């Protein structure tokens, strides 16, 4: 049985090489199930000791919710998203310390936001926020504007205004106290 | 105001927040429906590739219907009476929550994941459509039954308020809902048939290439094209985004396929062991496995364990699409 995978494509026919066609395996009958023992138990660090439910079949092919402690594949994807924000925040931190940008850019990435997200949450246009990234503009921000950022980022205006090195010092101090 | 309310509730650990909340809620009010049943009856499985909505500069890829669809779909199918409320002022939202709790009613809330302190740090992103149940309050602490966690948790009022009124995409505006009335009897046979038909339409009937089975093929095509155009580094980023959309965000693509397979199995029991539904359930399981295969191969390529081959990924996606086509054609006949 041969089934053509790619439908005649509308605009990019010459651009894309056609996808190689593989016959479709007969998948209707009893084949390989998602078995209870196939539920991944990789103890992902991203789960922080929690468990998620995945539906899988038991010995009698009956479906049940089974606990999973993580899956490496998912962990990789989650961590790459987390690390991207971390790297961007670190990059911003360097530039803040060199006085090229304001602390706002660091806080944005540290709170796992990007420019469109912060714009949506704070209600400012992206160009306004970019302007606020300039240290000279940032230092003169009115309390009202700071209030909006404080609400969006979930930190007090004082924390946002604080010199970044001091802010990070406080943060690390708090963590070691806990 | 010092208050202490606690509603006796059987916490249920579920795969997905919205279906989990609805299942727990309905069971509590005397209509025991499992999570897969809730998911299936609201006809919530889907696929969509939405290039216009960007998440971190990447297109949104959804493996189920948009948030609130489970609640709304179930409300429609089962003729439930559910009251929804949103608020402009956070304080009023919190007072309304207290009042409803005082009336001994379970309350469902839509919240942002990022501001819920009990979430593991690596899973906190700005996603505004997470559902949870509140079943009591002691002083300034709310008793929360979050279905994606093993056990109930406690959340401070200021954190809950922040989570309910987070702004941005899909902003909840403090959305809360509770059940007013549950029908005493439901003809599951009719409802199941209707739900499956409705779902077959969403998977096969959309005219645009972004939705349903066409959307799956479109994603494969997109992967090949982006690889050609932008090279390995970009496609690695893109793929890890696809996998994250698939596996982490609200239990992911394969997860939803397994939930639906479980629904089909339960449905066949309800319909006197319909052989067609048993076959469909098996096929759906295989589809879920195929999606997992896609995720596994993608990550292997991202990690550099095998050479980047976007064609191979497109082939798997096309196989997913072929299998889903077969499944929904089968279910259409049902």
CB-CB neighbours of B244 under 10 Å? 24
For the stretch A132-166, what's the b/e string if a residue is b when 16 or more beta carbons lie within 10 angstroms of its beta carbon?
Answer: bbebeebeebeeebbeebbbbbebebebbbbebee
Residue A70's DSSP bridge partners are: A41
Q: Is the dihedral of CA B61, B64, B171, A151 positive or negative?
A: negative
The pLDDT > 90 percentage for chain A reads 46
Of B150, B154, B124, the residue nearest B140 (C-alpha):
B154
A82-177 fold: 434 Repressor (Amino-terminal Domain) (1.10.260)
Show which of residues 139-178 on chain A sit within 8 Å of chain B, judged by CB atoms.
152, 154
Confidence of residue B1 (pLDDT cuts 50, 70, 90): low
Instruction: Indicate the CATH number for domain B4-32+81-181.
Output: 3.90.70
- Sequence spans of domains, chain A: 36-70, 82-177
Confidence of residue B334 (pLDDT cuts 50, 70, 90): confident
Give the pLDDT confidence score for residue B60 in this predicted structure: 87
- Is 60 exceeded by the pLDDT of residue A27? no
- Is 50 exceeded by the pLDDT of residue A143? yes
Residues 6+ apart with CB under 8 A from A169: none
Confidence of residue A171 (pLDDT cuts 50, 70, 90): confident
Mean pLDDT score across all residues of chain B: 91
- How far is residue B210's CA from residue A105's CA, in Å, rounded to a whole number? 34
- Closest residue in chain B to residue A38, using alpha carbons only: B289
Residue B22's DSSP bridge partners are: none
- How far is residue B59's CA from residue B52's CA, in Å, rounded to a whole number? 7
Cα-Cα-Cα-Cα torsion B300, B240, B294, B129, nearest 10 degrees, comes to 150
Do residues A29 and A56 make contact, with C-beta atoms less than 8 angstroms apart? no
> ipTM of this predicted complex?
0.89
Tens of pLDDT along B278-292? 999 999 999 999 998
* Residue A138, min C-alpha distance to chain B (Å): 23
- Is 60 exceeded by the pLDDT of residue B205? yes
Test mutation, A19, A115, A126, A149, chain B, max B CBs within 10 A: A19
Q: Residue A2 — φ and ψ, nearest 5°?
A: -120, 125
- Sequence spans of domains, chain B: 4-32+81-181, 188-333
Counting one residue from A and one from B, how many pairs have CB atoms under 8 Å apart? 180
What value, to the nearest 5°, has the Cα angle with vertex B245 and ends B52 and A77? 125
Of B249, B245, B240, the residue nearest B301 (C-alpha):
B240
Q: Which residue is listed with tokens 């924000």?
A: A85
B288/A80 Cβ within 8 A: no
- How far is residue B271's CA from residue A167's CA, in Å, rounded to a whole number? 62
Q: Which residues of chain B make contact with A12, given a CB cutoff of 8 A?
A: 221, 225
Q: Which residues of chain A make contact with B248, given a CB cutoff of 8 A?
A: 46, 74, 77-78
* Residue A14, min C-alpha distance to chain B (Å): 12
**Structure token pair of residue B31:** 């209509």
Confidence of residue A48 (pLDDT cuts 50, 70, 90): confident
Test mutation, A6, A7, A15, A63, chain B, max B CBs within 10 A: A63
Test mutation, B14, B15, B161, chain A, max A CBs within 10 A: B15
- Is 70 exceeded by the pLDDT of residue A6? no
Of B182, B196, B259, the residue nearest B20 (C-alpha):
B259
**Three-state DSSP class for residue B311:** helix
Residue A61 region by backbone torsions, left for phi larger than 0, else alpha for psi between -120 and 50, else beta = left
Give the pLDDT confidence score for residue B257 in this predicted structure: 92
Residues 6+ apart with CB under 8 A from B287: B257, B320, B323, B324, B327
Confidence of residue B251 (pLDDT cuts 50, 70, 90): low
Nearest to B319 among A24, A117, A152 (CB): A24
Q: Which residues of chain A make contact with B251, given a CB cutoff of 8 A?
A: 52-54
Give the pLDDT confidence score for residue A174 in this predicted structure: 67
Average of per-residue pLDDT across B1-19: 87
Supply the DSSP string of B122-186, one letter for each residue.
GG--S---EEEEEEEEETTEEEEE-TTSSS-EEEEHHHHHHHHT--STT--TT-EEEEEE--S--
Give the pLDDT confidence score for residue A4 in this predicted structure: 38
- Is 70 exceeded by the pLDDT of residue B105? yes
Average of per-residue pLDDT across A92-109: 94
- How far is residue B269's CA from residue B34's CA, in Å, rounded to a whole number? 13
- How far is residue B334's CA from residue B332's CA, in Å, rounded to a whole number? 5
A34/B288 Cβ within 8 A: yes
For chain B, the 3-state helix, strand and coil shares in percent, each to the nearest 5, are 55, 15, 30
Supply the DSSP string of B219-241, one letter for each residue.
HHHHHHHHHHHHHHHHHHHHHHH
- How far is residue A155's CA from residue B323's CA, in Å, rounded to a whole number? 49
- How far is residue A52's CA from residue A66's CA, in Å, rounded to a whole number? 8
* Residue B70, min C-alpha distance to chain A (Å): 18
Of A172, A51, A115, the residue nearest B123 (C-alpha):
A51
Question: What does the radius of gyration of chain A's CA atoms come to, in whole angstroms?
Answer: 25
Nearest to B221 among A16, A20, A76 (CB): A16
């Amino acid at each position: 049985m041969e089934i053509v995978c790619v439908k005649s494509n509308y605009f990019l026919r010459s651009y894309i090489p056609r996808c190689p066609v593989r016959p479709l395996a007969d998948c209707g009958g009893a084949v390989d199930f998602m078995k209870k023992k196939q539920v991944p138990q990789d103890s992902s660090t991203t789960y922080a000791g929690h468990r998620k439910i995945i539906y899988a079949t038991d010995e009698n092919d009956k479906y049940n919710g089974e606990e999973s402690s993580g899956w490496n594949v998912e962990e990789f994807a989650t961590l790459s998203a987390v690390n991207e924000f971390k790297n961007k925040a670190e990059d911003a931190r360097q530039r803040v310390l060199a006085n090229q940008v304001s602390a706002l850019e660091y806080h944005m990435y540290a709170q796992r936001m990007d420019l469109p997200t912060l714009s949506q949450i704070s209600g400012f246009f992206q160009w306004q926020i970019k302007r606020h990234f300039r240290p000279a503009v940032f230092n003169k921000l009115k309390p009202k504007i700071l209030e909006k950022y404080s609400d969006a980022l979930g930190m007090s205006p004082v924390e946002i205004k604080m010199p970044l090195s001091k802010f990070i010092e406080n943060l690390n101090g708090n963590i070691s106290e806990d | 105001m010092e208050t202490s309310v606690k509603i006796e509730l059987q916490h249920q650990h579920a795969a997905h927040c919205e279906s989990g909340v609805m299942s727990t809620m309905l069971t509590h009010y005397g209509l025991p429906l499992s999570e897969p049943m809730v998911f299936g009856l609201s006809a919530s499985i889907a696929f969509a590739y939405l290039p216009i909505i960007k998440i971190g500069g990447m297109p949104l890829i959804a493996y189920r219907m948009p948030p609130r669809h489970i609640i709304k779909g179930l409300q429609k199918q089962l003729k439930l009476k559910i009251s929804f409320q949103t608020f402009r002022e956070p304080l009023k939202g919190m007072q309304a929550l207290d009042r409803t709790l005082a009336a001994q009613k379970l309350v469902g809330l839509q919240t942002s994941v990022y501001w819920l302190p009990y979430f593991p740090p690596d899973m906190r992103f700005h996603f505004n459509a997470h559902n949870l149940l509140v079943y009591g309050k002691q002083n300034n602490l709310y008793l929360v039954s979050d279905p994606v966690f093993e056990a109930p948790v406690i959340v401070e009022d200021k954190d809950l308020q922040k989570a309910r009124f987070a702004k941005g995409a899909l902003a909840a505006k403090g959305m809360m809902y509770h059940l007013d009335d549950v029908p005493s009897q439901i003809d599951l046979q009719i409802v199941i048939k209707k739900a499956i038909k409705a779902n077959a339409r969403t998977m096969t009937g959309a005219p645009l290439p972004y939705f349903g089975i066409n959307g799956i093929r479109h994603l494969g095509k997109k992967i090949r094209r982006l690889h050609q155009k932008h090279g390995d580094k970009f496609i690695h980023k893109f793929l890890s985004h696809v996998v994250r959309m698939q596996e982490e965000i609200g239990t992911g693509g394969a997860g939803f396929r397994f939930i639906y397979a479980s629904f089909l199995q339960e449905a066949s029991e309800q319909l006197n062991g319909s052989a067609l539904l048993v076959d469909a359930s098996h096929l759906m399981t295989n589809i879920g496995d195929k999606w997992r295969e896609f995720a596994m191969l993608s990550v292997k390529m991202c990690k550099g364990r095998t050479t980047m081959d976007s064609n191979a990924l497109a082939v798997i996606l096309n196989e997913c699409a072929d299998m889903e086509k077969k499944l929904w054609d089968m279910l259409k006949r049902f």
